[in-house]
Amino acid sequence: MAELRWNPILERWNIVSDERQDRPVLPEDSCPLCPEVLEVPQEDYHIVSFENRFPALKRDPGGPNQQGDSFYRVRPNKGVCEVLLYTSDHDVQPADISQDRFEDLISVWQDRFADLSREDFVDYIYIFENRGEEIGVTLYHPHGQLYAFPFVPPLAQKALDSARSHYERAGSCIYCRVMEKEREGGSRVIWEDENFIAFVPFFAHLPYEVHLYPKRHFPDVLRMKDEEAPSLAASIKGILTMYEGLFPVEEFPYMMTFHQAPVDGDDYRYFHFHLEFYSLQRAKDKIKYRAGVETGAGTFISSISPEKMAQDLREAGGVE
Amino acid sequence: MEQRLEVYSVGRLTVEKKRKEDGRYIYYYFPEEDGGER
């Protein structure tokens, strides 16, 4: 069974995809993402992107299994889910990936964004990485993912609505304003160069949440200038190095997420491309769970102040 | 056996777009200096 089902109360699409139950979870005998095992029949590779064997969204989904109506709406789960392999080296930690390879990864993200944005059934392209068992990864091999949605997902829509409202009211970008506020005191800034700035935002809602903004205003990864790409690569590598040094755990769990303008043809000049990183690891042996208040009420309780998180990250990265 | 569909360049990478036997697309990115078909 696979389809999109509309929640008329929260006004958002949910994806039903029960075949994902069959995904292998942390296989011990061999890794399907390593060369010549399953997904990549080459003896070695640099970077590879391929369509997921167990996709939540499909190019050819067939009809919905459930009959919908005007209230309980149902749509085919049409879209694309890709897996991006950062390297053929199964054991390398993401923070140890070279600057050159991160710059190549940016080219890959740009190429996949450009290619999928030309598909008329795609409205929003979401690039992300899950790392660590606590986040729910099913494979250890260094990789990220991409979902090409046939709709704008709800958090992205909420952010777009706020950005548009601020633009209409103040005539400026809400993300540029956040960046200005973070630079005023600087107590939450953890990394900065001439093109990018990384900080734990005033309103961080998850452990060691980091936002990474380009200083120049542009809406998506494709509009980034060539000379800005090395800064983005260095800043991602810098943040992952801080994460790795934060606690003596085997693999620091994190999510890396790209936030970009939709590709549905509308005008999103008010949106500001950026990345957000989150963890669930709030101490060496403590995990932040998404429990009743977070899940049922949508309000997050942070047991570490954003200022303390920023201080911890700077110390972990050896930043003065 | 994968079917080779297209070759193009992006940044300093060469891209080979192929189709797997089960119909899924796969994209190989490799440095241009490596050259040659994969």
Provide ipTM, 2 decimals: 0.93
Q: How many CB pairs under 8 A join A and B?
A: 56
CB A81, CB A147: distance < 8 Å? yes
Residues above pLDDT 90, as percent of chain A:
82
Residue A143 and residue A83: Cα distance in Å, rounded?
A: 7
pLDDT of the residue at A177: 97
Q: Is the pLDDT of residue B36 over 70?
A: no
Identify the closest residue of chain B to A44 by CA–CA distance: B38
Residue A137 and residue A280: Cα distance in Å, rounded?
A: 13
What tokens were used for A104? Answer: 């190549």
pLDDT of the residue at A25: 66
Q: How far is CA A16 from CA A64, A69, A79, A153, in A?
A: 10, 17, 13, 15
Closest CA to A202 of A228, A214, A184, A225: A184
Question: Is the overall model pTM greater than 0.90, yes or no?
Answer: yes
Cα A78 from chain centre = 20
Three-class DSSP category at A312: helix
* Subunit contact A42:B28, Cβ cutoff 8 A: yes
pLDDT in tens, A5-28: 999 999 999 999 887 666 666 677
Task: Tell me which residue in A39, A49, A53 faces B27 most closely, judged by beta carbons.
Answer: A49
**Cβ of residue B11 closer than 8 Å to a chain A Cβ:** yes
Residues of A serving a catalytic function are: 143
Residue A301 and residue A89: Cα distance in Å, rounded?
A: 38
Residue A199 and residue A275: Cα distance in Å, rounded?
A: 11
* Subunit contact A104:B12, Cβ cutoff 8 A: yes
Using an 8 Å CB-CB cutoff, list chain B residues near A49: 26-27, 29
pLDDT of the residue at A95: 92
